[in-house]
Amino acid sequence: MSGRLFVIGLGPAGDAMMTPEAKHALAQASELLGYAPYLARIPENPGQNRHPSDNRVERGRAEQALALAAAGRDVALVSGGDAGVFGMAATVFEAIEAGDRALRGLDVTVIPGITAMLAASARLGAPLGHDFCAISLSDNLKPWALVEKRLRAAAEADFVIALYNPLSRARPWQLGAAFAILGATLPPTTPVAFARAIGRADETVALFSLASADPGLADMATLVLIGARASRLITRPEGRPWFYTPRSAS
Amino acid sequence: MSGRLFVIGLGPAGDAMMTPEAKHALAQASELLGYAPYLARIPENPGQNRHPSDNRVERGRAEQALALAAAGRDVALVSGGDAGVFGMAATVFEAIEAGDRALRGLDVTVIPGITAMLAASARLGAPLGHDFCAISLSDNLKPWALVEKRLRAAAEADFVIALYNPLSRARPWQLGAAFAILGATLPPTTPVAFARAIGRADETVALFSLASADPGLADMATLVLIGARASRLITRPEGRPWFYTPRSAS
């Protein structure tokens, strides 16, 4: 099989956080696939065909990308953030594993990107300053009981916690339930940040305590960061406090 | 205070994974500080002063950067990977919190970078395809008992696990001890990858099972990835198998 598939993380926003490697891979592709708002970030190129798709059709999008590559095309399949972190990369390998064995001969290259957790952390200070975990609150593909188990384990072992996909119209209660679970272990004063659309024109950042965080203020574009026991705020003469986690822990 | 401090993640290697935002911030600085091998990656600019330092002097390096910024300079303090993930960002905020209150008026900007875990994951396939955690095995700043607790919690809650700082000459036994702890919970067939110096000329990647992984093959430049229960390998007609974790879990 002669085609190539690049699975590319565009970063959280615009050009400033997109790597040269990602840009170079995009330039080599004749076919661009991805969720429509991510594709819209890429400048038009008359030599490239665009195949935008809806948010809920990851598997079909991966299969379409593989079919185009199998037909000899150079294909770029894009994700926001990093394709390997709750992005398209795992979906591609699921489709390869379930598909025709010939797909295993394809040239597949995954290009890393700045994932939302890193962009949010940078904007806030250094909340990920020590051991941390990333959990998707979506229970579309795993039972909610497993999410609960992971939240409890993370709080008990004192990880900083990054929550992806905190809630959506179809999943309105999960973030509140997560805060309730964490509140059973973590102090009510634990710092919590909502970082939305970092790097975009509509970027917003808000700081709360675990007791005061309002799930209703989050949406699918929000990354929620919950501190560990040592995490704290540094107040400043002007502007939002810095949220950071010291390197040392006891 | 009129100086500025940029705390910059350079990514894991060279230019290809460094963001335009990081490059732009570097260009604005008159003073460059960092561990010498990271500074060596940045092209010389006769208008900039370089202050390379040893690996073991993070706090002193952060204080020097803050002092230069407080004196009105535009300062870039660089980390490999992402400065917020086991890099210099937390050290800077520790130094601010412990230092003169005037430091809180400084203009500090953290610029995210591709952390080793993301670069390694991309090279391997999609091992971080579901919930995951990142743990530093260094017990210089935390008790080993806490590392053990986090490893047990991560294995029991079925996180994919990224291990940073797996071992060094001064800490030769920690990675073997970590594998033994994980082996008490995870199946011996759990995929394990050692990804070293990703993106550099001396890049190496090796795949093992948890039972066969040899800690002696890792060093400080190695990122160790340990799968969750659903993680698996996809064999290919040529080349290394892909290591991935499906999005769904039970």
Name the residue of chain A whose CA is nearest to B244's CA: A90
The span from the CA of B245 to the CA of B125, in Å, is: 9
In this complex, is the C-beta atom of A234 within 8 Å of any C-beta atom belonging to chain B? Answer: yes
ipTM computed for the complex? 0.97
**Beta carbons within 10 angstroms of residue B156's beta carbon:** 15
**Phi then psi for A62, rounded to 5 degrees?**
-65, -40
Rounded Cα distance between A173 and B99, Å, is 42
Q: Where are the domains of chain B?
A: 4-114, 117-244
Q: Give me the tens of pLDDT residue by residue for chain A, a chain 250 residues long.
A: 578 999 999 999 989 999 999 999 999 999 999 999 999 999 999 999 999 998 778 999 999 999 999 999 999 999 999 999 999 999 999 999 999 999 999 999 999 999 999 999 999 999 999 999 999 999 889 999 999 999 999 999 999 999 999 998 899 999 999 999 999 999 999 999 999 999 999 999 999 999 999 999 999 899 999 999 999 999 999 999 999 999 988 7
**A191 at the B interface (CB within 8 A)?**
no
Q: What are phi and psi of A152, to 5 degrees?
A: -65, -45
Please indicate whether, in this complex, the C-beta atoms of B133 and A159 are within 8 angstroms of each other: yes
Cα–Cα distance for residue pair B125/A61, rounded to 1 Å: 18
Per-residue pLDDT at B250 exceeds 90: no
CA distance B122 to A171: 29
B89 and chain A in contact, CB less than 8 A: yes
Spatial strand order in the sheet of B191-196: A204-209, A191-196, A222-226, A160-164, A132-136, B132-136, B160-164, B222-226, B191-196, B204-209
Minimal C-alpha gap between A64 and chain B (Å)? 18
Mean pLDDT of chain B: 96
CA distance B209 to B221: 20
Confidence at B162, pLDDT banded by 50, 70, 90? very high
Q: How many CA atoms lie within 13 A of B1 on its CB side?
A: 23
What's the pLDDT score for residue A56? 78
A8 touching B (Cβ < 8 Å):
no
Whole-angstrom distance, CA of residue A85 vs CA of residue A166: 14
How far is A42 from A111, CA to CA, in rounded Å? Answer: 16
Query: Which of B93, B244, B250 faces A93 most closely, judged by CB atoms?
Result: B244
pTM: 0.97
Q: Which residues of A touch B92 (CB under 8 A)?
A: 126
Query: For residue B113, which residues of chain A lie inside 8 Å, CB to CB?
Result: 114, 118
Q: Rounded to an integer, what is the distance from CA A40 to the centroid of its chain? A: 18
Q: Which residue of B131, B234, B245 is in closest CB contact with A104?
A: B234
Would you give the DSSP letter of residue B227? -
How many Cβ pairs within 8 Å bridge chains A and B?
A: 235
Mutation test of the interface with chain A: which of B2, B78, B110, choosing the one with the most A Cβ atoms within 10 A?
A: B110
- Pick the residue of A7, A8, A10, A21 with the most B CBs within 10 A to test the interface with B by mutation: A21
* CB-based contact A114 B110, cutoff 8 Å: no
CATH (residue range A4-114): 3.40.1010.10
Q: Is B113 on the interface with A (CB under 8 A)?
A: yes
Determine the pLDDT at residue B1. 57
Q: Domain A117-244 falls in which CATH fold?
A: 3.30.950
The alpha carbon of residue B172 and the mean position of all alpha carbons in its chain are separated, in whole angstroms, by: 19
What pLDDT digit, counting tens, does each position of B83-135 carry?
999 999 999 999 999 999 999 999 999 999 999 999 999 999 999 999 999 99
Strands B191-196 and A191-196: what pairing?
unpaired
Residues from chain B contacting residue A246 (CB–CB below 8 Å)? 90, 93-94
> Given this model, what pLDDT does residue A55 score?
78
